Amino acid sequence: MTATTTPPGTSTPYSELKAPTTARRLLTAPTTGPLVALLLACVFFSVSSDQFLTGGNFSLIVQQVMVVGTLAIGQTLIILTAGIDLSCGAVMAFGSIVIAKMAAEGSLPPLAAIALGLVVCGGFGLLNGALVQKIPLPPFIVTLGMLNVAFALTHIYSEEQTVTNLPGPLTALGQTFPLGNTDITYGSLVTIALFLLLAYALSNTGWGRHVYALGNSPEAARLNGIRTSRLTIGVYTVAGVLYGIAALLLISRTGVGDPQAGQTDNLDSITAVVLGGTSLFGGRGSVLGTFIGVLIVGVFRNGLQLMGVASIYQTLITGVLVILAVTVDQLSRKKAR
Amino acid sequence: MSRTTRPSSSLLRAAAVTGVAALTLTACGSGSGSDTASSGSGSVKVGLITKTDTNPFFVKMKEGAEKAAKENGAELSTAAGKFDGDNAGQVTAIENMVASGVKGILITPSDSKAIVPAIEKARAKGVLVIALDTPTEPESAVDALFATDNLKAGELIGEYAKAAMKGKSAKIATLDLAPGVSVGVQRHNGFLKGFGIEEGDSSIVCSQDTGGDQAKGQTAMENCLQKEPGINVVYTINEPAALGAFTALKAKGREKDVLIVSVDGGCTGTEAVKDGTIAATSQQYPLKMAAEGVKAVVTYAKDGKKASGYTDTGVTLITDKAQDGVTSKDTAYGLENCWG
């Protein structure tokens, strides 16, 4: 991996603009820390468990993180604008119930039900963005409120019943295809494709650069002619649509519409974003970092389970890693000043 | 450094990072790829997946499984959802346990329907799956079920309450679990059956969900008393809800003249029966569920015999104020056999 440039959006102080060495750039690239952590975890679990490096295990880990991973892409976009979204899991749960019920009860053809789910989730995002931008209200408060709204709607609309007997297209992404001696889940590919797509959009389009600019300083962005209001609402809407895709992945993974789903996914997605080196202050970070962050959580959960360690320790370790990640972020900012 | 990066270079970087992340996981060489559950060390691997890590009922269940695993020379690994109803967490746990080569999985399903596809996948790989405490829907989705007969647990306290009221007109509050959760529905229906009334009977003056939580039980009871101050019988889904109800009754000075009945038989709850806070409780035996489950997996590993069907792990009515015609044991027995 060769980082030839500092990723856009990482604010490089003026003093460092004099051609930093490759080594230094690698050390300060926001994805380096998380990647090293992932490597170390991998080495550790390879040594401690015979099953960690079996063919199917990597596929398994990606399959297990695809739902939170997809949520975390949307969460990354919002956090890059210095916002936060507490409603993502609840919005996803509502989307999944909409898709499942509409399709299972035959009100809509499966593909139309999926489209409706994406629209509904996008609508939640649009509403979040509009409230944040137009009133304006703090994202934390807006999305906290929306969390409760979406949660309640999920339980009202589902009548607390798990929706079963779903038509085939809804669970298609949960199917697997063989690759060598490993089974790969289609949904995993969707998640990886989304990560690559958004990574490209953030680093190679004007829109992406504007998102970073907005996160660094909304005022400066506005003075530079960026339509910050439209941009903010757009980011929340895109995130909402991503939650809709996560809803579909969730259904395909479990094969049912579950009103209880996603209750801790908001914090889990924020965890992935933070572990991936994205700053909660906005303007610094990347979705690829988030991909690594979500894999770190997945690798620890899977590896500890293979070692036979109780799941509560996974929670403990995740907590420690989050604090470490934020500490690293803060220290690197100090150095940069 | 210029702000304009060439598309190619950052795309390359994106691909590189993803590639390295992927390689990181697979680099060290993909293994044999054998999916069959084979234990190399000779000891049988058993997995236990509970609803949560924190509920004393499941903590006790885990202890029972650990003890049984030691006795039978099995290796136990445990996992749990993050909250009651966390289906995704349980699915992940099943996958990881199958990957680690367990011979059998014992599970208390958080969502009886939603967990079924994951269980089917595990069984297709030759893993024995046994439900503990809570049945799956359909029940045939697992090889076997070791559980309390929750309908009977409810019936026992219903009969007891009926006998204790001695013909006085009852005003009943039911503090239930949550909509659609089978354990709660069965206990509730059992209580009504034992009391000899139908759902919607005029003697049921208030029904509230508590999630089996003490604070919510208290709130529910406060609201019920607000609605109907004359309540004299309280059915509760479990002892935490019962203790919450007691606190609410005490605040109104009603704790002496209201009959509280419950289900669970945890040690705290059984103590509460002893000191008269709760009149009677139906005690269940989570340790036994887990121990029987572990034994069944070991048997399957040894001679390929799969446990099947429903095994009732028993329920006992515990009270110090025995009523004629209702079989019960005192709290001395209850405390000897309680869990938690």
Q: What digits encode the pLDDT tens for the residues A287-310?
A: 999 999 999 999 998 998 888 887
Per residue of chain B (340 residues), give pLDDT as tens: 444 444 445 555 555 555 555 555 544 333 333 333 444 457 899 999 999 887 888 988 999 999 999 999 999 999 999 888 899 999 999 999 999 999 999 999 998 999 999 999 999 999 999 999 999 999 999 999 999 999 999 999 999 999 999 999 999 999 999 877 788 999 999 999 999 999 999 999 999 999 888 888 999 999 999 889 999 999 999 999 999 999 999 999 999 999 999 999 999 999 999 999 999 999 999 999 999 999 999 999 999 999 999 999 999 999 999 999 999 999 999 999 998 7
**Residue B296, C-beta contacts closer than 8 angstroms, at least 6 positions apart:** B104, B128, B130, B144, B146, B307
Query: Count of residues for chain B?
Result: 340
- Enumerate residues 52 to 71 of chain B having a beta carbon within 8 A of any beta carbon in chain A: 53
**CB contact (8 A) between residue A56 and residue B10:** no
Helix, strand or coil, per DSSP, at residue B79: strand
Q: How far apart are CA B8 and CA A294, in angstroms?
A: 26
Shortest distance, CA B22 to any CA of chain A (angstroms): 8
Longest dimension (CA), chain B: 90
Q: Can you name the residues that pair with B46 across neighbouring β-strands? A: B76, B104
Q: How far apart are CA A168 and CA A177, in angstroms?
A: 16
- Enumerate residues 172 to 201 of chain B having a beta carbon within 8 A of any beta carbon in chain A: 178-180
pLDDT digits (tens, 9 = 90+) for A260-289: 899 999 999 999 999 999 999 999 999 999
Asked whether B45 and B77 are in contact (CB, 8 A), the reply is yes
Alpha helices in chain A (DSSP H): 22-28, 32-48, 55-80, 88-104, 110-134, 139-158, 168-171, 186-204, 206-216, 218-223, 228-254, 265-275, 287-307, 311-336
Give the sign of the dihedral formed by CA B154, CA B157, CA B162, CA B163: positive
| List of chain B residues whose C-beta atoms are within 8 Å of the C-beta of residue A276 | none
> What letter would DSSP give residue B5?
-
**Pick from A6, A57, A256: which is nearest to B99 by CB?**
A57
**CB contact (8 A) between residue B3 and residue A8:** yes
Helix, strand or coil, per DSSP, at residue B183: helix
**Torsion angle, CA of B25/B27/B32/B34, rounded to 10 degrees?**
20
Phi, psi of B50 (to 5 degrees): -100, 170
DSSP string, A215-260: HH-HHHHHHTT--HHHHHHHHHHHHHHHHHHHHHHHHHHHSSB-TT
Helix, strand or coil, per DSSP, at residue A275: helix
What is the chain B residue with the closest CA to A263?
B86
Q: Would the pTM of this model clear 0.85, i.e. be above it?
A: no
Closest residue by Cα to residue A74 from A86, A61, A62, A59: A86
Asked whether B134 and B108 are in contact (CB, 8 A), the reply is yes
Mutation target vs A (from B23, B96, B105, B116; most A CBs, 10 A cutoff): B96
H/E stretch holding B316 reads: strand B315-318
Predicted local distance difference test score (pLDDT) of residue A335: 73
Residue A258 touches chain B, beta carbons under 8 Å? yes
pLDDT digits (tens, 9 = 90+) for B134-154: 999 999 999 999 999 999 999
Q: How far apart are CA A245 and CA A187, in angstroms?
A: 10
- Enumerate residues 56 to 85 of chain A having a beta carbon within 8 A of any beta carbon in chain B: 56-58, 60-61, 63-64, 67
Q: How far apart are CA B322 and CA B314, in angstroms?
A: 19
**CB contact (8 A) between residue B87 and residue A260:** yes
**CB contact (8 A) between residue A203 and residue B5:** yes
DSSP string, A66-111: HHHHHHHHHHHHHHHTT---S-HHHHHHHHHHHHHHHHHTTSS-HH
Residue A38 touches chain B, beta carbons under 8 Å? yes
**Torsion angle, CA of B162/B167/B173/B176, rounded to 10 degrees?**
10
Number of other CB atoms surrounding residue B256 within 10 Å:
8
Q: Can you name the residues that pair with A101 across neighbouring β-strands? A: none
Phi, psi of B179 (to 5 degrees): -60, 135
**Pick from B21, B30, B32: which is nearest to A295 by CB?**
B21
